[in-house]
Amino acid sequence: MKIHNYSAGPCILPKSVMEKAAESVVNYQNTGLSIVEMSHRSKEFVAVMEKAVALVRELLHVPLDYEVLFLQGGASMQFYMSALNLLPLNGSAAYINTGTWSSKAIKEAKLLGRIDEVASSKDKNFSYIPKDYAVSQEVSYLHYTTNNTIFGTQFKELPKTNARLVCDMSSDIMSKAIDVTKYDLIYAGAQKNIGPAGATLVIVKKDVLGHTGRVIPSMLDYQIHIEKESMFNTPPCFSIYTAMLTMEWLKELGGVTEIEQRNKAKAELLYQEIDTNPLFRGTAAIDDRSVMNPTFVLEDASLNDSFLHASIDAGISGIKGHRSVGGFRASMYNALELESVQVLVDVMKEFERTRG
């Protein structure tokens, strides 16, 4: 039976990528060495790193005045590291709180300076994206999280501000076209649309660095990682290599503009069923629904286990909702096929036929 992987992360990767990665774990390009054991200073792996960086630049149209880094520590490290590199001593920054990950980013940034939570959707369990808020002209930057994996919401447009933009794009980067020039710093954990867990992508405008007046530890200093071309210490080689393969797959598919249309089609198919099936209800505000992570509940929660078992019987994996929302979450990252969404929709239709 085919497994339809809706895991929120680590998540589904293209089958062809997994096959190439598996071959390289045994013998990388006939070197007799595994990709996980060769030196990161070898010409073979340096070529991998250079190609991964080049693919990020090509797929996202990253200008030359921005640097592309592959680091470690996930987005959770970037919560602190971004503030450490951009927030001046005695400075302030603005944050929009739309869920668990932005809340964590706020917590870490508060260790370094004055943080103004200019907007929050906590009052309704983070089920919507705040629209009405003001950002002071004095803040060093505005930070927000584009897509909220747990609560199923997503920003559909840029926040209205003249401040520098810092953005956590962990769960929707590479899923749609973006204008990198609108941001001063973008960071993203790899384990959604880029590749397996272990690497973290950072895209930073060079001229925003070096102005904080802080002494920054070497491992947390973007400028040092730039100077060392993401190899200040041993990088997560396998994760970067597999990310390179995933980006090659995406390029061959037609790039982010093509995958954006495919992702929209998947979301439309599932949300159509959620909205028309009387047994189910979406949990996020309609205008703010995530294309990546639709969240929904059964009107009769006593049927949860039965629906979960029906899904598992159909080969569906990973749709149980996060405990803070309950119900179900269908994470539909780039590599999930429309066919898999149709299987879930068919299970929902059959569940209505037999339980409705």
Tell me: the pLDDT tens digits for 2-29? Answer: 999 999 999 999 999 999 999 999 999 9
Render pLDDT for 188-225 as a digit per residue (tens, 0 to 9): 999 999 999 999 999 999 999 999 999 999 999 999 99
Enzyme catalytic residues = 101, 168, 192
Architecture field, domain 15-253:
3-Layer(aba) Sandwich (3.40)
Residues 6 or more apart whose CB falls under 8 angstroms from that of 351 comprise 279, 303, 306, 307, 310
Question: Which regions of the chain carry the CATH code 3.40.640.10?
Answer: 15-253
Q: What's the burial of 71, exposed, middle or buried (CB within 10 Å: 0-12/13-18/19+)? A: buried
Confidence of residue 356 (pLDDT cuts 50, 70, 90): confident
Class of domain 255-355: alpha beta
Residue 1 confidence (pLDDT) above 90: no
The pLDDT, as a whole number, for residue 119 is 98
pLDDT digits (tens, 9 = 90+) for 56-104: 999 999 999 999 999 999 999 999 999 999 999 999 999 999 999 999 9
CATH 3.90.1150.10 boundaries in the chain: 255-355
Judge whether residue 275 has pLDDT over 90: yes
Q: For residues 209 and 85, is the Cβ–Cβ distance under 8 A?
A: yes
Quick one: pLDDT at residue 291? 98
Whole-angstrom CA distances from 336 to 6, 232, 240, 270, 345 are: 8, 34, 21, 13, 14
Q: Is the pLDDT confidence value at 168 over 80?
A: yes
C-alpha 37/C-alpha 30 separation (Å) is 14
Closest CA to 48 of 75, 73, 72, 21: 21
